[in-house]
Structure 1
Amino acid sequence: MAKNEVFPYRHTRSLPVADGTVSGTPVKVGAFVGVTLTDRGAGGNAAGEATVALSGAYTVSTTDAVASVGLAVYITGAGAITTTASGNTLFGHSLGTKSAGAGTVAVEIHQV
């Protein structure tokens, strides 16, 4: 199970994810965004699927500066977390701050 959970999730689904996806990975599946709680194909999921938390708060990696609590963060088509809105999908809102460079920040997942 994902070890980067900050607050308990409320709702999950088994969803198809990319090959090699491991527990704790931010994902976008169609209109859904979330964090994988299992590795792909593990935890009773069908081959090619993982259990994905669609709500809750998780620490996620980003190289962007996160200037304030409540800042909108986005997920790119490649699964990276960014503060850049243009061309990306809303992932959630920050629960903390961090400076630019490699690091993590807690984010509350937000479904659009």
Structure 2
Amino acid sequence: MAKNNKFAYTRSRAIAVPSYCVSGSPVNVGSLVGVCLTGRGVDGNASGEATVALDGAFTVNVITTTTRSVGQPVYIITATGVITTTDNSAANPIFGYCLEAKGSAAADVLVEIAQV
């Protein structure tokens, strides 16, 4: 199970996920965003599926050097699951909202998953 969960999730589903997904990694599938609680094909999931938390707050690495204040959004790069501070002209869907400030270096940040 993902060890980066900080505030409880209440919704999780087994979802077909991209090959980069491992336990604890952010993921975007269609309009859904979340954090993989398991790896693909483990803990009772079918091959290629993982259990994904669709709400809650998780510590995730935000790669960019742009600062963020509490409540500001962060985005997910769909192809890689990397979290960034830019929406890239709406190409990167919103992943969630910072629950703590982020400085000007890449850092682990507590993020509340955006709900659809």
Superposition TM-score, scaled by structure 1 size: 0.93
Give the Cα–Cα distance (whole angstroms) in 2 for the partners of residues 109 and 15 of structure 1: 17
RMSD: 1.2
2:114 is aligned to: 110
**Structure 2 unaligned blocks of 5 or more:** none
Query: 1:45 aligns to what SS in structure 2?
Result: coil
Q: Are the counterparts in 1 of residues 68 and 98 from structure 2 also a CA contact under 8 Å?
A: no
Give the Cα–Cα distance (whole angstroms) in 2 for the partners of residues 82 and 57 of structure 1: 16
Number of residue pairs aligned between Structure 1 and Structure 2: 112
Counterpart mapping for 1:87-106 below 5 A: 87-106=91-110
Name the aligned partner's letter for residue 28 of structure 1.
Answer: N
Worse overlay, 65-74 or 43-52: 65-74
In the TM superposition, residue 20 of structure 1 has moved relative to its aligned partner by: 4.5
In the TM superposition, residue 67 of structure 1 has moved relative to its aligned partner by: 2.4
1:55 is aligned to: 55
Name the aligned partner's letter for residue 58 of structure 2.
Answer: Y
**Structure 1 unaligned blocks of 5 or more:** none
Q: Are the counterparts in 1 of residues 58 and 111 from structure 2 also a CA contact under 8 Å?
A: yes
1:11 is aligned to: 11
Q: Are the counterparts in 2 of residues 66 and 94 from structure 1 also a CA contact under 8 Å?
A: no
Q: Are the counterparts in 1 of residues 63 and 82 from structure 2 also a CA contact under 8 Å?
A: no
Q: Segments of 4+ in structure 1 off by > 6 A?
A: none
